[in-house]
Amino acid sequence: MILILDFGGKCSRIVGRIVRESKVYCEILPHNVSIDRIKEKNPQGIIFTGEVKEEVNEEIFDLGIKAIGLGSKNKALNEKYGVKVYENETYTDDTKKIINDFLFEECNLKPYWDMKEFVDRSIKEIKEQVGDGKAICGLSGGVDSSVAAVLVHEAIGDNLTCVFVDHGLLRKNEAEEVETFFREKFNMNLIKVDARERFLNKLKGITDPEQKRKIIGEEFIRVFEEEQSKLEGIGYLVQGTIYPDVIESGGDENQVVKSHHNVGGLPEDVNFELVEPLRQLFKDEVREVGTILGIPEEAVHRQPFPGPGLGVRVLGEITEEKLDIVREADYIFRDEIKKAGLDKEIWQYFAILPGIRSVGVSAGKRTYNYTVALRAIYSIDGMTAQWAKIPLEVLEKISDRIVNEVEHVNRVVYDITNKPPATIEWE
Ligand SMILES: Nc1ncnc2c1ncn2[C@@H]1O[C@H](COP(=O)(O)OP(=O)(O)OP(=O)(O)O)[C@@H](O)[C@H]1O
């Protein structure tokens, strides 16, 4: 294995992905990890990433492990410790070549990290961990929980029960798709909870985005707990935690291990033992595992979708009418992007209802209706993003369809802001 010693920044994850893509296993640890932990890992090579500001524990170099540094601010490594340093810190062919040369020529490794083997090994490990026990899994329809659920289902079959909460903040047809898919294709025990009204009631009159998120998160936990209490003998909770959720970053001051309990996260007071079969994997690897397990491409390459769903795409107060508008507009947008063959190159694209109304004209009559905003971005990891240069004819078609097909909309605008300074989502 390769050890990536992280001095902060994003570089460690980029390097990590490249090493794994080259079919070599690697782990990312903070730069000041103890020498014993390094020895335990027994790496064949070490890659230093980020900005080396402090002294490096010199004992590392006594271990006789091959090392290089990546990152433009890493000269100190070379000057003080004689480690060869490259300025590369982004995902380019050149960076890949440097890493590949290091892995296969300097460290003499062979490609071995293989997702098919991972699947077989995981199924065996899950069987060992859970035995005849029963597990529950919150299934959002997102990539991580879907792949985790299918993997665990392969291992323990009907002893897994999945709970899917329809909070009414999902995209068009999503609830039906999740239901049909997991029940029919995978024959999984799936409980679908229709909590649409419950969420809408709780959100009535709430306009502050943080408060909306909080309410959605808390209500989700409540619904999930109610469902789990109806089941008997559950001892395990399956979570779609993936490697980027658990990396201890060298840049963070107190080096907290980030937990997976964000919005839409599950109850923390777990009496259950966790089953987290994707903990070691990067997102691309999770997708590959999904494909091996027979999950269709559209689901495996599904674009990121926030936990609170359309709740953060209807700005201001959420009402059923507004949710319907944004859901229909979003559906048309996605449909046209797909028809134009742009769905692979654009990282994320969706509609927003900013809650503004403006004057328009329809069949000779004045209207006063909603504006729909469209957002589409290119990105590699969501940390930075550029607005997508969708051809004007495609934008025109989308706009025409939205104003014609979606009631109460008379204007469509396109967001042409990069991240930073804007974020990808609007709230
Ligand atoms: N509507 C839902 N129904 C059931 N479980 C859900 C739902 N939304 C979220 N969850 C659970 O909470 C976890 C965290 O939710 P979050 O929205 O942060 O997902 P994520 O980290 O993007 O993962 P995923 O790709 O599985 O959606 C999910 O992995 C899933 O187990």
Instruction: Tell me what pLDDT residue 326 has.
Output: 98
**168-190: average pLDDT:** 94
């495609």: which residue's tokens? 394
How far is it, in rounded angstroms, from Cα 159 to Cα 137?
11
Query: What was the ipTM of the complex prediction?
Result: 0.96
CA distance 196 to 174: 13
Domains of the chain: 2-106 (3.40.50.880), 115-300 (3.40.50.620), 313-414 (3.30.300.10)
Residues with CB under 6 A from ligand 1: 138-140, 142-145, 163-165, 167, 240, 262-266, 307
Nearest Cα residue to 24 out of 57, 50, 55, 47: 47
CA of residue 153 to ligand 1 center, whole Å: 17
d(CA 245, CA 278): 10
Q: Which of 158-172, 185-199, 255-269 has the lowest mean pLDDT?
A: 255-269
Pair of tokens at residue 227? 């469902």
Range scoring the smallest mean pLDDT among 145-149, 304-308, 402-406: 304-308
Who has greater pLDDT, 260 or 387? 387
| Per-residue pLDDT at 411 | 98
pLDDT number for residue 231: 95
Q: Give 54-87 pLDDT, tens digit per residue.
A: 778 889 999 999 999 998 777 888 888 889 999 9
Write the burial class of residue 191 (CB in 10 Å: 0-12 exposed, 13-18 middle, 19+ buried): middle
Using the mean position of ligand 1's atoms as its centre, give its distance from the Cα of residue 265 in Å: 6
Q: In this structure, are residues 400 and 370 in contact, taking their beta carbons and an 8 Å threshold?
A: no
CA-nearest of 303, 302, 323, 304 to 212 is: 323
Most confident listed range (174-183, 218-227, 333-342): 333-342
Point out the ligand 1 atom lying closest to the alpha carbon of residue 266.
12
State how far the Cα of 39 lies from the Cα of 18, in Å rounded to an integer: 23
Distance 165 CA to ligand 1 centre (A): 10
Strand-strand pairing, 2-7 and 26-30: parallel
Which of ligand 1's atoms lies nearest the C-alpha of 162? Answer: 4
Question: What CA–CA distance (Å, rounded) separates 416 from 385?
Answer: 11
